[in-house]
Amino acid sequence: MAATRSAIPEGLRQRAGVMARFFRGMDDPTRVLILELLLDGEKNVSELVELLGSPQGRVSTHLSCLRWCGYVATRREGRNIYYRLADDRVRALLRIAQDLMAEHARELLSCQVIDAEGAGRPVPRDRISRKRADVNHGRQRPGRATERPR
């Protein structure tokens, strides 16, 4: 049997891959906390270490990721490097995410597809019970009487 070609253009598929990678840059609670802290203005590594209560090496690694991915920018003042949100669009993205999260917190917390502890990695299908597989993110599928997952 011959494989069927996808109707999705290759450029769209590539853009989706890059966008997923973009969002993976925020796929860690510490990186999100850093971005949230930078909403109030620039901070140096020492300030972020103190606020986060994390080791300096770990904070620096997260800052490096955020900088490489374009979320934060830096400026040097003497021996200190100060971090700030790279662009107003990052601020807007965080605000939009906060709004969406507030509206959909219950669904996000009960989602059976995205394992919150697994940093966004999908849960293997064999770990989702048959009963829960019939539930679409806590919403009933049309024509099915299922309970909401607890």
d(CA 71, CA 86): 5
pLDDT value at position 42? 97
| Domains detected in the chain | 10-87 (1.10.10.10)
* Burial (Cβ within 10 Å: 0-12, 13-18, ≥19) of residue 74: middle
pTM (whole model) above 0.75: no
For 71-90, write each residue's pLDDT tens digit: 999 999 999 999 999 999 99
pLDDT value at position 144? 37
pLDDT value at position 111? 84
Average pLDDT, the chain: 80
DSSP type of residue 4:
P
For 89-117, write each residue's pLDDT tens digit: 999 999 999 999 999 998 888 888 876 45
Question: How large is the average pLDDT for residues 22-39?
Answer: 94
- Kindly tell me if the per-residue pLDDT of 143 is higher than 90: no
**Do the Cβ atoms of 149 and 112 come closer than 8 Å?**
yes
Which tokens is 21 given? 């990678």
**Do the Cβ atoms of 35 and 85 come closer than 8 Å?**
yes
Which of 51-60, 67-76, 130-139 is predicted with the least confidence, judged by mean pLDDT? 130-139
